[in-house]
């Protein structure tokens, strides 16, 4: 069975600093996708970044990058130059065989302080 683990319930970071949110996964499938979503206090789910299991390079999207270490089964999200608006819940997720639905971790709450 697939499993996503986010071990950090809450994180603090100072504005303009970089922060890493941890995500480890477990799957026996050779082909899978890894996703990060942001959920601000308003509640919507915002897609941030995607990494495929066969992608050779780490994914980047603006200030977001995904540190993909396949052998360690980790897919950590790195946010550079944090902004106050980055304060939110962050979910790591992996695509599953069930209609390519995503299995989600329990999330990490990030608070960016001035």
Partner 1 sequence: NAGVTQTPKFRVLKTGQSMTLLCAQDMNHEYMYWYRQDPGMGLRLIHYSVGEGTTAKGEVPDGYNVSRLKKQNFLLGLESAAPSQTSVYFCASSHGQGVSGELFFGEGSRLTVL
- Residues 8-37 interacting with partner 1 (rule: CB under 8 A): 9, 31-33, 35
Which of the ranges 12-20, 61-69, 73-81, 102-110 carries the binding residues for partner 1, by CB under 8 A? 102-110
- Residues 26-85 interacting with partner 1 (rule: CB under 8 A): 31-33, 35, 43-45, 47, 50, 52-53
The closest of 45, 32, 25, 41 to 105, measured between CA atoms, is: 25
105 contributes a contact to partner 1 by CB under 8 A: yes
99 contributes a contact to partner 1 by CB under 8 A: yes
C-alpha 100: how far from chain center: 17
Q: Which of 3, 16, 70, 106 binds partner 1 (CB under 8 A)?
A: 106
C-alpha 49: how far from chain center: 8
Cβ-based nearer residue to partner 1, 71 or 98: 98
- CA dihedral (104, 87, 24, 28) positive or negative: positive
Tokens of 81: 């130059």
107 contributes a contact to partner 1 by CB under 8 A: yes
Q: How far apart are CA 33 and CA 38, in angstroms?
A: 17
């Amino acid at each position: 069975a697939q499993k996503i683990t986010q071990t950090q319930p809450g994180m603090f970071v100072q504005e303009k600093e970089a922060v890493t949110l941890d995500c480890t996964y477990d799957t026996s499938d050779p082909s899978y996708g890894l996703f990060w979503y942001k959920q601000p206090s308003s509640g919507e789910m915002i897609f941030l970044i995607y990494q495929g299991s066969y992608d050779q390079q780490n994914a980047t999207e603006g200030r977001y990058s995904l540190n993909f270490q396949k052998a360690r089964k980790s897919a950590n999200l790195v946010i550079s130059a944090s902004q106050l608006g980055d304060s939110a819940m962050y979910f790591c997720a992996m695509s599953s065989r069930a209609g390519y639905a995503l299995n989600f971790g329990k999330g990490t709450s990030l608070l960016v302080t001035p």
